[in-house]
Chain A
Amino acid sequence: MILPAAVLLITFLLIPIGLTLGLAFTDARLISPRPAQFIGVDNFTRLFSDDTFWKSLRNTVLFAIVIVPVQSACALGLALLVNVKMRGVNFFRTIYFLPVVTSMVVVSMLWLFLYQKNGLINQVLAKGGITGPDWLGDPHTALIAIILMSAWQAMGFHMVIWLSGLQTISGDLYEAASLDGASQWQQFRYVTWPGLRQTRTFILITITIAAFSLFTQVNIMTQGGPLDSTSTVVLMAVRTGFQQQQTGYASAISLVFFVLVLIVTIIQRYYTREKA
């Protein structure tokens, strides 16, 4: 009974993983009559001397460094706000969760409009006497704009995960803490925070991997511009592999990307591991 899944996983997961490794050292093209040739580390030499690659890598890392703490902290805040006994609390949960069920494609198109120079956000800012920037057209603000929008979209998802973590903490602990006269902050610090350790690890790792995979928003909203200020590693890989059909070169980019994800995940696992 495991056979169908095994065949599918091998064909569409394990073989492509192997191919990423193999093709990265060839000059394979998507559609070509000529079989792929082994070219050693040429793809990597070319990649590491490519300015766009370094810019893309910088943007990807910057995106992750900002969005991981911001999004996870805000999502925890949301979870604490809706983890109370209160009339209508389910309504709030539902609204905060709405952007999650709205696809990133739709959200990107919507915010593309909101971010226009004369769009909704700037018009609202103008009411307060602030002249808003050309969010996506200015290399200084484009990445920030994409970060804000991405955090907005995914926050509800992580709110729900924090929430399920919060609900595994026994109420007795809070009762005991408040009998001992612990303040709200002390309860959070000594009961809630340690109780969320596993949830924290999971959220940290999923947000980081998602952040490194940044593609859809950028492809729809800026195509990496202006001046490569929002180009990312995945966007670069897709462009070379798909539009320019250079599968070998794109595999090399994917391989570098994967190694990056692997290193970051291992580091995170190490620092969040169970202290024996």
Chain B
Amino acid sequence: MTTLTPVAERTATENRPAVDTQFPVRRVLGLVLRIVLCLVFGLPLLFMIVASFKPDTQIFADLGGIRSFLPVGNLSLDNYIGVFNRVPFAQFMLNSVLISVVTVVLGVIVNSMAAFSLARIKFRGGSFVLGVILATLIVPFETLALPLLWWVNKLPFFGPGGYSQGWLDTYQVQIIPFIANAFSIFLFYQYFDSIPKELDEAATVDGAGWFRIYRSIVMPLSGPAVATVAILTFLPTWNQYLWPLMSVQSEELRPVMVGIDYFKQLNVSWGQIMAYASMITAPVLILFIAFQRAFINSIASSGVKG
């Protein structure tokens, strides 16, 4: 699995002559270009956050000028208070956190176990199973969404509330179909395959079973793979929109992304929309800033499919 080496840690010979090593003029131009691009990628998000503290009149008065991006003028938390009055925000947030955390945790366990059996326990048909799993990677979720909706509506469920028929409008419909993931299995498989098999033999001699080897040897060595799968499961789960839009009708079960639709109805208040958008982006942004290296590495390793 390739990881990104930070430029500062690379040796001198590894550093390729970049666009701007020789001439000061090119160097300056390069820097200007990088800064302009920063504005292109950063300003819209800065605008969103700044606008969330302004009343609509102020947002429109500031438009087009530099003031759009500065926290100046009539600032308040009114938009945030407005969000809480308009939608059950705490409930949406709780739902999203619950759905994401459960999906990530169960996803890491289930997919790593599957990958472990494929990578470490050789059994008949193992490579065929791996082949089938890899082949499904090409199927976009969008093609499955509608048949899946029809199908889960027919499934029975034995849960804490007893027996029920049809999964529409539940928590489990937002979690269980997304636990097993072909791509996560593949990422774990690649990582496990690179861990020396001699460790298994030594452990077997000491009387350890397969589950013991998985839990006490392979998993503790697989921190980077767990981080990668956790991030690559968390991002799409948190951002999910199409599926909960279709499968969940009750307000009290809906996640944050679907909540944005409540602001598009009558009396559009842009300040409130920006406040809501800022709040649902904040958790991911905080995680991203805290685990930046892991985030970027996980995306990078998703490109090493070969």
Looking at B1-9, B87-95, B199-207, the stretch in contact with chain A turns out to be B1-9
Task: Say yes or no: A261-B242 contact (C-beta < 8 A), given A118-B63, A152-B41, A247-B150.
Answer: no
Contact residue among B42, B117, B140 (Cβ-Cβ distance under 8 Å from A1) = B117
Q: How far is the CA of A95 from the CA of B288 in the complex (A)?
A: 12
Is B190 close to A, CB under 8 A?
Answer: no
Contact residue among B33, B34, B44, B257 (Cβ-Cβ distance under 8 Å from A111) = B44
Cβ contact within 8 Å between B47 and A257:
no
Task: Say yes or no: A241-B41 contact (C-beta < 8 A), given A2-B114, A4-B114.
Answer: no
Is A226 close to B, CB under 8 A?
Answer: no
Q: How far is the CA of A265 from the CA of B140 in the complex (A)?
A: 12
Cβ contact within 8 Å between B118 and A261:
no
Cβ contact within 8 Å between A97 and B296:
yes
Cβ contact within 8 Å between A113 and B299:
no
Looking at B74-82, B172-180, B222-230, the stretch in contact with chain A turns out to be B172-180
Is B253 close to A, CB under 8 A?
Answer: no
Chain A at the B interface: mostly helix, strand, loop or mixed? helix
Q: How far is the CA of A199 from the CA of B301 in the complex (A)?
A: 11
Write the nearest CB–CB distance from B16 to chain A, whole angstroms: 4
Chain B contacts of A202 at CB under 8 A? 303, 305
Cβ contact within 8 Å between B37 and A213:
no
Q: How far is the CA of A209 from the CA of B141 in the complex (A)?
A: 10
Cβ contact within 8 Å between B37 and A78:
yes
Please, what's the 1-or-0 string for B130-154, where 1 marks a CB less than 8 Å from any CB in chain A?
0001001011111111111111010
Chain B contacts of A92 at CB under 8 A? 34, 37-38
Cβ contact within 8 Å between B300 and A163:
yes
Please, what's the 1-or-0 string for A147-170, where 1 marks a CB less than 8 Å from any CB in chain B?
000001001110011011101111
Is A83 close to B, CB under 8 A?
Answer: yes
Q: How far is the CA of A181 from the CA of B280 in the complex (A)?
A: 53
Cβ contact within 8 Å between A95 and B41:
yes
Q: How far is the CA of A12 from the CA of B247 in the complex (A)?
A: 14
Contact residue among B11, B16, B300, B304 (Cβ-Cβ distance under 8 Å from A174) = B16
Is A238 close to B, CB under 8 A?
Answer: yes
Please, what's the 1-or-0 string for A22-36, where 1 marks a CB less than 8 Å from any CB in chain B?
010000101100000
The residues in B between 159 and 207 inclusive whose CB is less than 8 angstroms from any CB of A are 176-180, 182, 185
Write the nearest CB–CB distance from B218 to chain A, whole angstroms: 11
Is B70 close to A, CB under 8 A?
Answer: no
Please, what's the 1-or-0 string for B98-121, where 1 marks a CB less than 8 Å from any CB in chain A?
000000000000110110111001
Cβ contact within 8 Å between B64 and A85:
no
The size bracket of the interface on B is 35 or more
Cβ contact within 8 Å between B17 and A178:
yes
Interface centre among B18, B118, B285 (most CB of A within 10 A): B18
Chain A contacts of B288 at CB under 8 A? 101
Cβ contact within 8 Å between A203 and B303:
yes
Write the nearest CB–CB distance from B278 to chain A, whole angstroms: 8
Q: How far is the CA of A93 from the CA of B250 in the complex (A)?
A: 40
A-side interface residues, number (CB < 8 Å): 103
Cβ contact within 8 Å between A20 and B20:
no
Please, what's the 1-or-0 string for B274-306, where 1 marks a CB less than 8 Å from any CB in chain A?
100100110011001000100110011111111
Q: How far is the CA of A112 from the CA of B270 in the complex (A)?
A: 10
The residues in B between 28 and 52 inclusive whose CB is less than 8 angstroms from any CB of A are 30, 33-34, 37-38, 40-42, 44-45, 47-48
Contact residue among B4, B295, B301, B306 (Cβ-Cβ distance under 8 Å from A198) = B306
Cβ contact within 8 Å between A103 and B41:
no
Write the nearest CB–CB distance from B31 to chain A, whole angstroms: 8
Interface residues, chain B, CB within 8 Å of chain A? 2-8, 10-11, 13-20, 30, 33-34, 37-38, 40-42, 44-45, 47-48, 60, 63-64, 68, 110-111, 113-114, 116-118, 121, 129, 133, 136, 138-151, 153, 155, 176-180, 182, 185, 210-211, 214, 235, 238-239, 241-242, 245-246, 257, 260, 263-264, 270, 273-274, 277, 280-281, 284-285, 288, 292, 295-296, 299-306
- Beyond A30-B150, A101-B285, 10 extra complex contacts between A and B, CB < 8 Å: A2-B129, A9-B182, A13-B144, A98-B45, A102-B285, A103-B241, A103-B281, A109-B260, A241-B145, A247-B146
